[in-house]
Structure 1
Amino acid sequence: MVAATGIVGNGAYGVLRGPRVKRVTVPLARLPRSAHGFRIAVVSDIHLGPVLGRGFAQRVVDTINSTQPDLIAVVGDLVDGSVEDLAPAVAPLAGLRARHGTYFVTGNHEYFSGAEPWVEHVREIGLRPLENARVEMGAFDLAGVNDVTGENYGDGPDYDKALGDRDPGRAAVLLAHQPVMIHEAVKRGVDLQLSGHTHGGQLWPGNFIADAANPTLAGLERYGDTQLYVSRGAGAWGPPVRVGAPSDITVVELASKRA
């Protein structure tokens, strides 16, 4: 009992203190030399709600900004609740700072909470939603697709809209909340997909369930010519406890093989 209490208590403290920074270097064959060292701060699964509120959001923002990224990617499951209830909790995200801006894609929990109002709200506070869309970052293409849960709401991912008609000679980075979306990314020649959703399992025995349901539980793996990076996420869903799956904000540094 003492050991179990200690483990749970430490797991709760690990969530509430805020995520730690993890750094990963990802070589991309098509990335030009000019983009070598480009840094993307990846944050997923913040899960702002009744337990993790405005103070937690501010800790996440401060941690991201401290890394001085070139670009910030918020890859879904930002909230667990409505805009009406959680707008004050989300407000600190207006303070996110990156040279090339902050981009957002929906996760499954946005659809449970009202995806359309949340997309409009994050736009209002300065994040740029990528709703099945693509932007040219100069050295590479950044694309984002809606979460697969959106299919139940008539608002699912459209890979052709996000990735079609692009120059195949340019590197492409895709923001997609769920790792299972990697199979479509491979078909379309994406170089790197950035995802979350799994929480790295969060809490035993959830790690076994999440591992069985996702191609990658956490970290970097290769699928053919496409690489997939899965963050464990910044927050927690359900009990604010993590055991064996510490929360993270990941700085993904892109590396050119031509450098």
Structure 2
Amino acid sequence: MTAKIVILTGAGISAESGLGTFRDVDGLWTKYDLNDVATPEGFARNPELVMAFYNARRANAAEATPNAAHKALARLEADFPGEVFIVTQNVDGLHEAAGSRNVLHMHGALHGALCKACEHRWPAPPVMSVTDPCPHCRKPATRPDVVWFGEIPYGMHVISEALSQADVFVSIGTSGEVYPAANFVAEADHHGAHTIELNLEPSAGASGFAETRFGPATEVVPQWVADELARTQK
């Protein structure tokens, strides 16, 4: 049976590509209240504000390029003799831009649009408006295809199954504070996976990992990938 590596990535892996995290002092998120731009209730109150926020995020992401950490994971997927499955909390497309193909966006993606009337999905234009008609039902019910606080992340059944089959679970650049992702390490450990945290600094759940490495993602991720590939080639 081939080995399986399941990788969870968070905002920390994209920070060195110029995409800020929730906790950046001067980042885009500091200019907005999360309750206003990242909840269904905020969208109901002021959809124009939410659209403007995600249009700004989409423009920011469009200018970003994959960094060494993204590229290292793409190399791992290409060269590892087993399966590599990336579950990302990020809504950017940097994993795919780097060459990764087996990626699940549990929080949706900036490049997607969703009709809240009929749930049809389509590629988002650079600038979205609440008056944009759905290509399927034609209703002006467009919203970003992202998962907001209070909504259920995408692909949870697929993720749970992957965690139950993982030989190695790696968490990269996440705070360890947002559920359900914060519980993935415990789930993987329960099923016997070796658990690893790669992060700039210890997360809230760092003590739950069997192995930890700390430093910038562009340094620790390529080094771990190199070590993992060397180990499998012995």
TM-score (norm 2): 0.36
Which structure is higher in strand share? Answer: 1
Q: Which has the higher contact order (CA 8 A, sep 6+)?
A: 1
Which structure is higher in helix share? Answer: 2
TM-score (norm 1): 0.34
